[in-house]
Amino acid sequence: MKRALITGITGQDGSYLTEFLLSQGYAVDGLTRSTQPAQTTRLNHLLTGNGLQPPALRLHQGDLLSTGRLQDLIEQIQPDEIYHLAAPGRVEPGGEADHPNDNITALGTLHLLEALRRSGAPAKFFHAASAEIFGEAPPPQSETTPLAPRSRYAAAKSFATRLTRTYRQRYGLFAANGILFNHESIRRSDRYVSRKITKAVAAIASGEQYYLYLGNLNARRDWGYAPDYVEAMWLMLQQPQADDFVIGSGQVYTVKAFVAAAFDYADLDWQAHVRFDPRFYRPQDGHCPQADIRKIRSVLGWQPRTGFQELVHLMVEADLKLKQRADQLTVDH
């Protein structure tokens, strides 16, 4: 039985990757800052009631800023694969994460790579990089696009990406960067515009609210479906040699297109309900991120299975059901 260690296991990608690896017969260990049920909501369906018992899925409490602790964990677990997904996303309108988040993103990667090197374990290492490392490079962006970060978050991600390459080239680790473009799901936080939109559609459809306030509707994104993307992560670690790959859809849509598709699915007129709010305008929204997926398609045979319209419909349908259940619970009580 193969064993995987996942940092950021309680996040959107971590939870989907956990489900996928378990379906492939893996044992999964996850590193998380807290094992309390309130902090593991995306995993609770796996931790209770479905027969999964240790060692199939185990959570370990800790952080990424202690090389010694991480080395002990790697030596204890002896993972075949390490998926480093932990890094707070940057979605604030102001465009900057705070200092502790920068530490986790940049220095956490350094501590984890160094712990792996010191342990001598032959584990394969995946780092979840971000398309924001490319800054305002013209589309499409590929594995050879120069790194040109335009924010502290992107700079921290660039540092982590370069570190991963350095440990591959200098120390011979199997260390690979998956450069991820936007990928969404019902498990996305509503701090992200995609989930903010679909939750609002459900609330408007139920009569709970009337308006949705957004920033630049003409902002463009390369959107994909998170469960598709975690399979790309796994495929990268099944190769004989480590390499970096851009993971995206290659298709670009505006926020307005996402809004229109979401409201249309619920038979609502988006123009009656959406209002512009300058508080949600981000300076970088004029840039167009677009993935060049020719390399991952040709080398790994991967491409997203879920198109844009289906992604939006899946999210709206799920949020409508969540809202209906929440309303029913309110009535019952």
Query: Annotated active-site positions, please?
Result: 130, 132, 153
CA gap 190, 14 in Å, rounded: 17
Give dist(CA 17, CA 33) in Å, integer.
Answer: 18
Computed on alpha carbons and rounded to an integer, the radius of gyration of the chain in Å comes to 20
Which 8-state DSSP code applies to residue 276? E
How far is 66 from 56, CA to CA, in rounded Å? 26
Q: How far apart are CA 236 and CA 164, in angstroms?
A: 14
Residue 88, preceding bond cis, omega within 30 degrees?
Answer: no
CA proximity to 259, closest of 272, 251, 275, 270:
270
CA distance 324 to 86: 32
Contact 91, 280 (CB under 8 A): no
CA–CA distance, 74 with 53 (Å, rounded to integer): 21
Nearest alpha-carbon partner for 82 in 186, 140, 5: 5
How many whole angstroms separate alpha carbon 259 and alpha carbon 201? 9
Under 8 Å between Cβ of 16 and 187:
yes
Whether the link from the prior residue into 140 is cis, omega within 30° of 0, is yes
